[in-house]
Amino acid sequence: MNVDRFDINWLATYRALGLWNVYSNFVKKQEPREIAGKWTIPVLRSPICNMVIEALRQQGYTVSAFYQDVDGILRQNPHGFPYAVTVPKAFEAIESEAGLAEKSTNDLKESHKGITLPVCLLLKLGCVVSFGLQTDAKGVTLCTGSVSKVGLIPAVYWNPHDRKILIPWHKGDTKGSRIRSRSMSSVPVSIL
């Protein structure tokens, strides 16, 4: 599928989170810039994972996160808020970056800035709200930029057979042909 024509509607996404006013105030000061071949993802507050999970449930999806309080189990992100990142424009992590195939979090520690769980969930919600499409139906996005307080790495995928969004947790050495991280790059955001 050619994803070049798919631009995420972040206002609608943040509206689904009940944070449309936060997003509106943000874009009055700084519109996230689009980069060819990338999705720019604005992260406007923390914690946000539990809010995104609830918004996905309100969109009619079952979400199994294995932890009741996902934000509470994650180590805190060192970013200040708001911030924005880019990820390759692809619905499937396994189709986006061949160089990351069959690599565990431990394999990628030094050479890769991987997607975080909050960014991965915002991307999933953005695609659901904007296009009615799921990310990661063929494979699993390993969120190598996040780690739980007990040292586990979250992953995210869509199981089309039972229509569930799953957030399993893995050891740092987990790898497989259907598991892939996504690269994430910071985008300068200056609030004027």
Domain ranges of the chain: 10-187
What own/partner pairs with CB < 8 Å and gap ≥ 24 does 59-65 have?
Answer: 59/16, 59/125, 59/128, 59/129, 61/128, 61/163, 61/164, 61/165, 62/162, 62/163, 62/164, 62/165, 63/164, 63/165, 63/166, 63/167, 64/164, 64/165, 64/166, 64/167, 65/167
Residue 78: predicted pLDDT? 60
* Pairing mode of beta strands 169-170, 153-159: antiparallel
Residue 100: predicted pLDDT? 77
Q: How far apart are CA 103 and CA 115, in angstroms?
A: 14
Q: How far apart are CA 187 and CA 140, in angstroms?
A: 25
Residue 131: predicted pLDDT? 94
Specify whether the CB–CB gap between 26 and 82 falls below 8 A.
yes
Residue type, 21: N
Sorted by sequence, the CB contacts under 8 Å of residue 174 that are 6+ apart come out as 104, 105, 142, 153
Mean pLDDT per 10-residue run, the chain (192 residues)?
Answer: 79 94 82 79 88 95 92 78 86 75 80 89 95 88 92 92 91 87 79 33
Specify whether the CB–CB gap between 75 and 150 falls below 8 A.
no
Residue 162: predicted pLDDT? 84
Model-level pTM? 0.90
In sign, the C-alpha dihedral spanning 170, 172, 177, 179 is positive
